[in-house]
Amino acid sequence: MGKKSNSKAKKSAAPAKVLPQDRADISAVVDEVFKICTKVPGATPASASQEWAEYLDIYRLIDKICTLEKDIKLPKYTRKDQLQSFLSWLKENNIIMTGLEIYDTGDAGFGLRATEDITQGQKVISVPLSAMLTEETARKSYLGSFISRDPILQHMSNIALALHVLGEYVNQQSAWQPYLRFLPSTYSTTLYFTPEQMGMLKGSIALEEAVKQFRNIARQYAYFYRILQSSPEARSWPIRDYFTFEAYRWAVSTIMTRQNRIPVKGGKNQMALIPAWDMANHKEGMYSTDFDDEKMQSICFAQCNIRAGEEFTIYYGQRSNSDLFLHNGFVATDNSNDSLAIKLGVSKNDPLHDEKVALLSSLDLPSSGTFMLIPGAHPVSSGLLAFTRIFCMDKNSLEKWRGDGSKVKDLLHEDCDVGTYVQDKTWAFLHTRVALLSQAYPTTVEEDRAALPTLSNYEQMIKKLLICEKTILSDAEAYLSSRIAK
């Protein structure tokens, strides 16, 4: 594929020089971040308010780091100006798009559009393995020796790939330069949210996950910064002088929003960035991407009939809006795969703990975990229903169901006769839990919808997620009220 990357560090455009005192100041704040993010948790799990306070402390330190690093900037490119170079690179590397063109969609960034009528099942994109950035190319890059021995990079291939992307982006002689220059310069992931925007998630389970995500990335940044600044080996790496929190956040977001898995010899999949294919935006439908083992290329088919001038989309998979929001940076308001997570668990102090855990295990359900409410006429998922039934059982009910193993799977079905006592407790428990979750939001659906036109793109995305969550809860509460009434 054109110029090959090798194990030697390549030249890169020099970033701004950091004065020794500024470098010392950055390192001191980085040490503070690392200390907070790696402290051993106490015997009692931190409360939501404690986690939020710690997030604010970490954000304050990261903001200070960004100010100190403000003059260390990644090379910037205008996507529109880089388009022709990218298209030429696609051709040089045998990446074929049939009946498709790249275009600016507006709010959704660049995407793919049909230049002719396309039939469902028609092959439209093929990308050879040699053109992809993968775990393998990361191991063959100048970061390869570091990746091979670092414990985090050994177990987190997404982070290894993020460093690889950043390392190639600042390597002006990288074979992937035309592709990397055409990537977005920023993303709508929660890693870019301010505390005010993060606070808009109050009531949503996504808030806890977003806070954890920011903490994890801050910890990783501090960890890699310390290594890159102290390792003699790293002095010749182009990534070293460009490694800032802004740069790392960009690289991680690139992987989060664009990664896919491809097969490799031996049956193990590896993570990859697939140029051109990753230009396609999401639309609910069917999987239409495959890998040709003989030709060693990723191939994509049309998931539906498309007319000339219409956007070409692919299906990202069965994901809730919370997942799309946290990992892809958007919300699909018409998502039939949406769900809302409820955390439940059997207390170790429950006198029937062992009996309940044993019955849950027979259904492959955890004794503590996340269960789902789903859209539609029957919003209680089978796992949530079975867990709650077992959670609400008395000793006699548990003995009855454990003694009748052939019928235990019936607990997953709504029409299962569990007896009046368990049934009434189940519906009442779920109704109370759903009502409490609804009350945790400071605003209503109507208020959220009314606010949409006045908000920024990030804030609109947050409100759309909240509207979807509250709609699921409202429908579930109405459904459970009807079950209690019976």
Q: Are residues 379 and 408 in the same domain?
A: yes
Q: What percent of the chain has pLDDT over 90?
A: 88
Q: What is the largest CA-CA distance in the chain?
A: 74
Please tell me the distance from the alpha carbon of residue 42 to that of residue 172, in angstroms, as a whole number.
47
How far apart, in whole angstroms, are the C-alpha atoms of residue 481 and residue 284?
A: 31
- Contact criterion met (CB below 8 Å) for 160 and 153: yes
- Assess whether 43 and 156 both reside in one domain: yes
Q: Give the residue-averaged pLDDT of 288-316.
A: 96
Q: Which pLDDT band, with edges at 50, 70 and 90, does 13 fall under?
A: low
Q: Cα(112)–Cα(29) distance, rounded to whole angstroms? A: 43
Boundary residue ending a domain (276, 296, 330) = 330
Collapsing DSSP to helix, strand or coil, 202 comes out as coil
| Of 269 and 351, more confident | 351
Position 83 in a domain: yes
Query: Residue 72 above 60 pLDDT?
Result: yes
Gap between the Cα atoms of 155 and 382, Å rounded: 33
Mean pLDDT of 75-103: 97
353, 307: one domain: no
In terms of domains, do 321 and 387 share one? no
Structural domain contains residue 335: no
Q: Are the C-beta atoms of 172 and 10 separated by less than 8 Å?
A: yes
Q: Clarify whether residues 310 and 176 are in a common domain.
A: yes
* Residue 322 sits in the same domain as residue 363: no
Residue 369 sits in which domain range? 340-485
Residues 359 and 223 placed together within one structural domain of the fold: no
Q: Would residue 288 count as lying in a domain?
A: yes
Strand, coil or helix: 368: strand
My answer on whether 317 and 197 are in the same domain is: yes
Please check whether residues 290 and 378 belong to one and the same domain.
no
Ranking 157-161, 235-239, 277-281 by mean pLDDT, the lowest is 235-239
Share of the chain above pLDDT 70, in %: 96
Domains in the chain, number: 2
Q: How does 50-84 read in b/e, with b if 16+ C-beta sit within 10 Å?
A: ebbebbeebbebbebbeebbeebebeebebeebbe
Same domain, 313 and 357: no
Per-residue confidence band for 486, with pLDDT thresholds at 50, 70 and 90 = low
What is the model's pTM? 0.92
**Confidence tier at 267 by pLDDT (50, 70, 90):** low
Q: How big is the chain by its Cα radius of gyration, in Å?
A: 25
CATH number at residue 428: 3.90.1420.10
Query: Confidence class of residue 42 from pLDDT cuts 50, 70 and 90?
Result: confident
pLDDT digits (tens, 9 = 90+) for 203-235: 999 999 999 999 999 999 999 999 999 999 999
Strands across the sheet with 96-97, in order? 96-97, 123-128, 297-301, 289-292
